[in-house]
């Protein structure tokens, strides 16, 4: 593959991916995802939109400062105006490899209804934005927003102007997922043939999945000459999402007979990255999701199983190990040691500190005493709880007791701790144990929550599997997410409610 053209992977999970409803991440979660992206060996991490909020600014600055010397470019998004660009640079300036990503809409519908600007004004504003960004660093990307619906003559004019102004990457976004593969191929071909200075920049593509063609459109663009693909882990993003990183990478690698290009991605880190992003965002990957879904390498039909037993290639075009699934699942039990657990965690994509390993090992032993066999999913759940569940610790669960009877109102006694002080409440209310848990937590913490979504799923197979609870709630007009894992589903529910409550308190710092 050494003679293949190398395609840069620009990951925007932390920016466009986080814009999915309910997918906001706190600083610790963003750092964990950024580290996973570095382990994947993506070329560029778009860490956020610094001017969007103080939290976004801090996240971009922290990622740029702490991870910006790991051989990856750290990028911040900015509209084409001085204030945005100045703010982006302030967040990025400690990075060893900073990139400022400037954007401005160019399509007729955006010019007329959103920006109310003429084509001449658009070009002038775009050039000014690139020149402003160029005064801070050399690595500048420009995106003509809604490029796929922009008149091709005008798009060529814009691209030529921003390249002349110093843009080293020009991204062609299909912002609303309108394009088809032949359409996208034609747009990139036109730019390659008609823009005289196009050889001075890298053409990128950023495709949305509204018609289910983001991956196909991205591959068509690369065939036409694009050198960078913008994508997200699990394909998360606005509306129907973005180009799926794992799908576009493995399409190139698996169909090397068709595509004369490849990426630097460590494909065996795809499943660990997918699991982490799923846990952080609360967006569960569908079982039949390509590459990283639970069923991606599962075979139930007798004909398929017979073929697999005779030759794996009959029904699998990739090896599970190539994307990060373990070759075996049942490996650890209550007699397993710390070293075996550390090795298994590493295989699953987690680099644990000594303190984290100790905490995970203690929880692993507690679970092993309850379960005969420990699955990979159980280990992942414990590790994610340790890494992601320790970010906010205002309120914690001490104990609870629930009394339930058929066709009767549940009764719950709940004790929580905060600042080494315990508070207890007993109530007989609610339509069931979940509703009663919400009411009890609200009464103790004083934080009102309106639950929009409650999900519970097993992390492994079997009746003794851990239950992962994810909730989405509203508080004062904002959406908040909570997550927890336990073999006891009521315990997991209470901890998920507390996780959401603690996020609110950490954000607002309101007294209780």
Note whether 105 and 151 are same-domain residues: yes
149 in a structural domain: yes
299 in a structural domain: no
305 in a structural domain: no
317 in a structural domain: no
Beta strand spans in 355-441 (E): 396-403, 411-418, 421-428
Contact 424, 414 (CB under 8 A): yes
Task: Please give the angle made by the CA atoms of 507, 509 and 512, to the nearest 5 degrees.
Answer: 125
Helix crossing, 489-508 with 433-445: angle to 10°?
A: 30
Kindly list the distances between the CA atom of residue 103 and the CA atoms of 51, 57, 145, in Å, as whole numbers in the listed order.
13, 18, 6
State yes or no: pLDDT of 16 exceeds 90: yes
CA distance between the termini of the chain = 59
In this prediction, residues 148-164 reach a mean pLDDT of 98
Distance CA 80, CA 64 (A): 21
Instruction: Output DSSP code: residue 434.
Output: H
The residue among 388, 420, 437 that closes a domain is 388
**Strand duo 478-486 + 467-475: pairing:** antiparallel
And the tokens for 379? 């280990």
And the tokens for 1? 């593959």
Distance CA 209, CA 289 (A): 14
Task: Count CB neighbours of 310 within 10 A.
Answer: 9
* Greater model confidence, 391 or 41: 41
303 in a structural domain: no
Note whether 249 and 335 are same-domain residues: no
Give the CATH number of the domain where residue 231 resides: 3.20.20.70
Least confident of 218-227, 298-307, 417-426: 298-307
Note whether 140 and 81 are same-domain residues: yes
Contact 236, 22 (CB under 8 A): no
For 53-87, the pLDDT digits (tens) are 999 999 999 999 999 889 999 999 999 999 999 99
Q: How far out from the chain centre does Cα 129 lie?
A: 28
Note whether 358 and 410 are same-domain residues: no
Distance CA 240, CA 207 (A): 11
316 in a structural domain: no
The residue among 336, 363, 388 that closes a domain is 388
The residue among 223, 257, 281 that closes a domain is 281
State yes or no: pLDDT of 339 exceeds 70: yes
The count of domains in the chain is 3
Spatial neighbors of 196 by CB under 8 A, at least 6 apart, are 160
What pLDDT is stored for residue 330 in this prediction? 42
Summary mean pLDDT of the chain: 89
**153 — phi, psi (to 5°)?**
-65, -45
Distance CA 179, CA 171 (A): 15
Note whether 182 and 100 are same-domain residues: yes
What pLDDT is stored for residue 329 in this prediction? 47
Note whether 345 and 400 are same-domain residues: no
For 270-328, the pLDDT digits (tens) are 999 998 998 888 888 988 899 998 777 765 445 444 554 556 666 678 888 889 886 54
**Strand duo 396-403 + 411-418: pairing:** antiparallel
Note whether 126 and 166 are same-domain residues: yes
Task: Count CB neighbours of 79 within 10 A.
Answer: 18
Note whether 362 and 273 are same-domain residues: no
Give the CATH number of the domain where residue 499 resides: 3.30.160.270
Percent helix, percent strand, percent coil in the chain, to nearest 5: 45, 20, 35
Least confident of 141-150, 348-357, 384-393, 449-458: 384-393
Contact 277, 233 (CB under 8 A): yes
What pLDDT is stored for residue 59 in this prediction? 96
From the number of C-beta atoms within 10 Å of its C-beta (0-12, 13-18, 19+), residue 70 rates as: middle
In this prediction, residues 399-409 reach a mean pLDDT of 89
Distance CA 455, CA 492 (A): 11
Note whether 135 and 238 are same-domain residues: yes
Note whether 355 and 471 are same-domain residues: no
Which range of residues forms the domain containing residue 171? 5-281
The pTM assigned to this predicted structure is: 0.82
And the tokens for 126? 């775009």
What pLDDT is stored for residue 512 in this prediction? 35
In this prediction, residues 86-92 reach a mean pLDDT of 98
Note whether 336 and 480 are same-domain residues: no
Note whether 139 and 196 are same-domain residues: yes
102 in a structural domain: yes
186 in a structural domain: yes
What one-character-per-residue DSSP string does 372-388 give?
SSB-HHHHHHHHHHHHH
Distance CA 226, CA 263 (A): 13
Among 416, 423, 412, which residue's Cα sits nearest to residue 396? 416
State yes or no: pLDDT of 511 exceeds 50: no
């Amino acid at each position: 593959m050494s003679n293949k053209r190398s395609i840069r992977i620009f990951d925007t999970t932390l920016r466009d991916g986080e814009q999915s409803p309910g997918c906001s991440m706190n600083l610790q979660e963003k750092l964990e995802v950024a580290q996973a992206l570095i382990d994947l060996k993506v070329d560029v991490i778009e860490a956020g939109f610094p001017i969007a909020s103080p939290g976004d600014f801090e996240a971009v600055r922290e990622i740029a400062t702490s991870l910006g010397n790991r051989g990856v470019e750290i990028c911040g998004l900015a509209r084409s105006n001085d204030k945005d660009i100045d703010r982006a640079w302030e967040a990025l300036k400690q990075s060893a490899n900073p990139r400022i990503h400037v954007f401005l809409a160019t399509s007729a519908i955006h010019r007329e209804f959103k920006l109310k600007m003429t084509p001449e004004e658009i070009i002038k504003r775009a050039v000014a934005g690139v020149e402003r960004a160029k005064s801070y660093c050399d690595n500048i990307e420009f995106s003509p927003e809604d490029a796929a619906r922009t008149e091709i003559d005008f798009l060529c004019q814009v691209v030529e102007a921003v390249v002349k102004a110093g843009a080293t990457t020009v991204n062609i976004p299909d912002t609303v997922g309108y394009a088809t593969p032949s359409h996208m191929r034609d747009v990139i071909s036109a730019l390659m043939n008609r823009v005289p200075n196009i050889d001075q920049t890298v053409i990128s593509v950023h495709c949305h999945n509204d018609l289910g063609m983001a991956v196909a459109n991205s591959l068509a663009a690369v065939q036409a000459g694009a050198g960078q693909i913008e994508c997200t882990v699990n394909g998360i993003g606005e509306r129907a999402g973005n180009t799926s990183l794992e799908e576009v990478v493995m399409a190139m690698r698996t169909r090397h007979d068709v595509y004369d290009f490849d990426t630097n991605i460590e494909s065996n880190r795809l499943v660990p990255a997918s699991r982490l992003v799923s846990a952080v965002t609360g967006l569960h990957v569908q079982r039949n999701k390509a590459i990283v879904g639970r069923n991606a390498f599962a075979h139930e039909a007798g004909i398929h199983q017979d073929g697999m037993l005779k030759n794996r290639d009959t029904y699998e075009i990739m090896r599970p190990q190539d994307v990060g699934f373990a070759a075996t699942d049942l490996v650890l039990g209550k007699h397993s040691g710390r070293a075996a657990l550390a090795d298994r965690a590493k295989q699953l994509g987690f680099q644990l500190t000594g303190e984290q390993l100790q905490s995970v090992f203690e929880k692993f032993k507690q679970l092993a005493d309850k379960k005969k066999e420990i699955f990979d999913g159980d280990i992942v759940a414990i590790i994610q709880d340790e890494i992601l569940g320790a970010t906010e610790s205002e309120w914690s669960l001490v104990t609870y007791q629930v009394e339930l009877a058929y066709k009767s109102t549940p009764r719950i006694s709940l004790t929580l701790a905060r600042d080494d002080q315990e508070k207890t409440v007993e109530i007989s209310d609610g339509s069931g144990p979940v509703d009663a848990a919400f009411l009890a937590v609200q009464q103790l913490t004083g934080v009102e929550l309106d639950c929009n979504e409650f999900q519970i799923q097993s992390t492994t197979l079997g009746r003794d599997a851990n239950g992962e609870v994810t909730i989405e709630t509203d508080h004062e007009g904002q959406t908040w997410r909570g997550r927890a894992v336990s073999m006891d589903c009521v315990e997991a529910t209470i901890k998920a409610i507390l996780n959401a409550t603690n996020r609110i308190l950490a954000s607002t710092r309101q007294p209780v």
